[in-house]
């Protein structure tokens, strides 16, 4: 299973370690460049968002733009964006 991780903090790092220990390919990690840009997201089996709540909507859109369709949204604090995230996922 190939993962894409947004938010390689404590949770994201733990998932990355568990995945590689289980023999999965090393997960891709999305980071922003200093100028705020980022490369297109790779197409993966599952996207894990373990970032900050205020980044979830942008991260979902970023992953969807390259065809990703399976998500685990493990970030907290994105209640204000639930409707927008839902709409993007169901679009």
Residue 2 and residue 25 in contact, taking contact as beta carbons nearer than 8 Å: yes
Per-residue pLDDT of the chain (91 residues; tens, 9 = 90+): 999 999 989 999 999 999 999 999 999 999 888 898 999 999 999 999 999 999 999 999 999 999 999 999 999 999 999 999 999 999 8
| Torsion angle of the four alpha carbons 38, 40, 43, 48, in this order, in degrees rounded to the nearest 10 | 30
Q: Are 46 and 21 in contact (CB under 8 A)?
A: no
Identify the pLDDT of residue 64. 98
d(C-alpha 47, C-alpha 2), whole Å: 9
- In whole angstroms, give the CA distance from residue 36 to residue 41: 15
User: Quick count: other Cβ atoms within 10 Å of Cβ 77?
Assistant: 11
Q: What is the pTM of this model?
A: 0.92
Q: How many CB atoms lie within 10 A of CB 41?
A: 20
Pair of tokens at residue 81: 């964006």
């Amino acid at each position: 299973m190939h993962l894409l991780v947004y938010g390689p903090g404590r949770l994201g790092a733990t998932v990355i370690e568990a995945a590689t220990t289980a023999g999965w390919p090393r997960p891709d990690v999305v980071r922003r460049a200093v100028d705020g840009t980022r490369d297109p997201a790779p197409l993966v089996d599952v996207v894990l968002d373990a970032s900050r709540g205020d980044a979830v909507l942008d991260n979902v859109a970023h992953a969807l733009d390259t065809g990703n369709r399976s998500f685990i949204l493990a970030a907290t604090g994105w209640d204000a964006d639930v409707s927008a995230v839902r709409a993007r996922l169901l679009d």
